[in-house]
Structure 1
């Protein structure tokens, strides 16, 4: 692992990441023989850059927020031969970087990457899209759509939390049919979340006991938008094995088919590009990723 390409979003963190570009490069160059920085200027640049450099490097680093990470992983995941992957967090939530133990300081994260400690992790595939962290429909999609940029910059991860509280009681239930390799469930719900990682909006709440190497999704079906059900999900000890939570159905599965009526917009790691119906599957140990020590 000597040749490195950094897909770098200088606008991340309200422009703060861009100010550290030279220092990040110098830090990486203490360990890696070749470090090339490629700046993104608009949506889609990250994917295009991955296509250009993937065959010529040993490691691709996404330096930016969750949007940059999502774009890079969606370009990497379908490749037959994939370089290793790493994250330098520079955004608001930085969810998956937290999952893999990266320090939430960009320069210190670059130092962690220089140690070259890796592991193979699962990722999710939803039709033609890939996700590291979560797949969701219902309330979670409404929340992510209504959090404005200014709120994210001013209050960060709390924006998601506060908007969810404001949205409780304002979401219409939808009818769903979920099929897994073990069971079929038909019911009404206000939210379905399929988790690979354990952080959403910077908070380790929905799946605190999740495992990105077990080849399984953790799934929560939320049947009612009640204050009690919502706050139960944000208690620190709530996990997928928790039983007897009113209005919440926990599952684990490798493969999920879901149909809804009416159609629901799908949120994959904060990106909303498709609607139900959808087929979601785990890709076990699909990506080699650099982790924090």
Structure 2
């Protein structure tokens, strides 16, 4: 290009970089005025549409002629106006039964996301979990980014249904606990999160392989399996929100959960646990309702984060309060890549907010970078 620019290739895209230094290089031609004006108007239009500050955020220009263009700042060297070789094709799949939002409100929120992402919507017509999972497989084969509208359990069902190496995924939080919303740092309304997805980049995250049966981002063996099962009963009688978690937790502790002994091996190092309350194996810090139960957990560090809790009732109360504020301060914390748990009685496993199977032994392995999330 001319005086203030140079042309190059970046990340498979054709980019025009706006140099921060003036002066024309020898042998270069003058800028085409029409091209300069067209590019400048496109950038200005993008800034006006979304109201972002250009120097801080990506701008997506929502226009039939300019679809796929966005403006960004290369903070190290220069600013650029990049042209996608291929516009991303989004599709939204939603679970009609997830969360506590009414069907009408959920449809309104999903329609907002659909307009922003130019994405068709699937899932409202499904009548069972099996139908939803089968639909997710089909839809994922015909889009570049599959956007999941639902809760933690819905997201979990989708990542276990689709071919993860071949698919990118995004998340619209419409559930109740919303651990994943906090883990991904998704802030604002559904419309704002949709724009974040549109201007986002791909993040590679780890997952937990559970006894070669299922992938997850948070699992636990112990009282949580009982709590989740009891919670369904309380939801059926109209108890919602945080109470629908705290009340069954107290019920489980007082009447329904019997502490057991367990043997744990982390990367081959074995130890015993008496009076087990919970063994949590996670890839991110949060459980539902912003409870930061494993504060040091990270989605992309290639490790399993393990919290072993066998505390007294008073300590559990303290841990609960700290989890809602500064982060959990009780339990024994470990990291590793392979975790084996064996108990002296069968227990249910909790997987991403849902009840899994019942067994006396469980094995957890790290699956590094297998999940590709756009945000």
2-side partners of 1:149 and 1:59: how far apart? Answer: 36
Q: Indicate yes or no: 2:108 matched with 1:19.
A: yes
Q: Indicate yes or no: 2:246 matched with 1:161.
A: yes
**Pairwise CA distance, 1:104:** 5.3
Give yes or no for contact 1:89–1:104 (8 Å, CA) kept in 2.
Answer: no
Q: Secondary structure at the match of 1:250?
A: strand
The runs of 4+ residues in structure 1 deviating greater than 6 Å are none
**Pairwise CA distance, 1:151:** 4.2
Aligned length: 277
Alignment partner, residue 32 of structure 1: none
Give yes or no for contact 2:228–2:355 (8 Å, CA) kept in 1.
Answer: no
Alignment partner, residue 199 of structure 1: 286
The 1:23/1:150 distance shift into structure 2, 3 A limit, reads farther
Give CA deviations for 1:66-116 in whole Å, capped at 9, x if unaligned. Answer: 22111101113xx26321111001111121122111125322221211113
Alignment partner, residue 130 of structure 1: 215
2-side partners of 1:203 and 1:162: how far apart? Answer: 17
Q: Look at both structures and tell me which one has the larger radius of gyration over its CA atoms.
A: 2
Give CA deviations for 1:222-279 in whole Å, capped at 9, x if unaligned. Answer: 124513234225414446xx6xx5xx32211111111111111111012223123111
What TM-score, normalized to structure 1?
0.85
Query: Which fold has the larger relative contact order, with Cα–Cα distance below 8 Å and residues 6 or more apart in sequence?
Result: 1
1:241-280 alignment, distance < 5 Å? 245=330, 248-276=331-359, 277-280=361-364
RMSD: 2.3
1:33-52 alignment, distance < 5 Å? 35-39=119-123, 40-52=126-138
Structure 1 unaligned spans of 5+:
30-34
2-side partners of 1:65 and 1:117: how far apart? Answer: 22
Q: Indicate yes or no: 2:195 matched with 1:106.
A: no
Structure 1 range deviating more: 117-126 or 17-26: 17-26
**Pairwise CA distance, 1:122:** 0.9
Alignment partner, residue 229 of structure 2: 145
Selected match of 2:180 from 96, 118, 128: 96
What TM-score, normalized to structure 2?
0.68
2-side partners of 1:89 and 1:137: how far apart? Answer: 25
